[in-house]
Chains A and B, each alone.
Chain A
């Protein structure tokens, strides 16, 4: 997080991570469609001709002033395809909170697990870990008949018992609930971090 005390602005970076075609970009598309234009930037998407994310998608959101402070949320998605590992790592630089978007289809469980391992590996490059940083899981594509039971998804993916949400991002179900929770988790963690630092340096 970056805090500009002169302007009283708080900047949070949230990254949507997950295997290819799990619905990361769909989340941002829905958010961009629904948010008041006064509260959002343009949606930036860097895509291939086949409409696959090649570098990242980005949108900045804000809410009104709270106790004089203006929170701003920078949302990114990463490319999910396997060969874009380095790009995913770059996008994680400075991340404050993560939404892990899992594909609920049963035959995508292996891809979900591989992407989760990939995420942890890339976080370690920044001396961070899923064990300690704020993140939530979104089980997307719940509308599909091949969607695995949530209990199974949780048992395989929710290794740290973080908040989780069911979603159908194409129609928006669960998208805002996920976003609100990751923001709350992240701000709470930042406050804990600041408090701990204050005690350590007192």
Chain B
């Protein structure tokens, strides 16, 4: 169960993006939660549903979640837990974070307030994870046009943009 992948690049096709976002929206609506992120193991946000207060923090959250989750699974390996931890919970006084594996290399990060029952979060997150796994497994590839979009013209323009933006 993986997003369409070349040897080094992962793609989220257009047709899958909307259904993935719908899943996150439905989960957030059911649980009245602040943020739900679908993140890959490199710490990149695949999809998100967040409230306005989270706009600036989503990137940091994804990066920290990815690396923390990877660290937790190194602990799993040390204690001879053959499979990675299915979920990792960070429990706070007012807000908690539940991280759940979707499939190899992807996981769901759910940020929820104290008022939302952990059991319900686990239950609905589990259902969403199963749905996401099916959606992503059924994703198709990209078109030839999309592949050529990163060719020499793009690279030349990128070079000019980098010179413009990154200067002493």
Give me the interface of A with B, judged by CB distance under 8 Å: 1-7, 10-11, 13, 31, 34-36, 39, 41-42, 44, 55-56, 58, 60-61, 63-64, 66-67, 69, 71, 74, 86-87, 90-91, 93-96, 172, 175-176, 179-180, 183-184, 187-191, 193-198, 201
Complex contacts, B43 vs chain A, CB 8 Å: 13, 58, 74, 94
For chain A, what secondary structure do more than half of its interface residues adopt (helix, strand, loop), or is it mixed?
mixed
Given contacts A6-B12, A63-B164, A94-B40, 15 further A-B contacts (CB under 8 A): A1-B8, A3-B11, A3-B146, A5-B13, A6-B17, A11-B42, A13-B42, A44-B60, A60-B59, A61-B165, A67-B153, A69-B149, A86-B74, A95-B42, A201-B141
B80 within 8 A of partner (CB): no
The smallest beta-carbon distance between A57 and chain B, in angstroms, is 10
With A7-B17, A187-B158: A194-B10 Cβ-Cβ less than 8 Å:
no
Q: Give the docked Cα–Cα distance between A67 and B40 (Å).
A: 25
Complex contacts, A41 vs chain B, CB 8 Å: 56, 59-60
Option from B44, B67, B154 in Cβ contact (under 8 Å) with A90: B67
Chain B interface bracket (under 10, 10 to 19, 20 to 34, 35 or more)? 35 or more
Complex contacts, A3 vs chain B, CB 8 Å: 9-12, 142, 146
Say whether B147 contacts A94, CB under 8 Å. no
Say whether B41 contacts A94, CB under 8 Å. yes
Say whether B12 contacts A2, CB under 8 Å. yes
List the B residue with the shortest CB-CB distance to A4. Answer: B12
Q: How many A-B residue pairs have CB under 8 A?
A: 148
Option from B11, B14, B64, B147 in Cβ contact (under 8 Å) with A198: B147
Give me the interface of B with A, judged by CB distance under 8 Å: 6-14, 17-18, 40-44, 46, 56, 59-60, 63-64, 66-67, 70-71, 74, 141-142, 144, 146-147, 149-151, 153-155, 157-159, 161-168
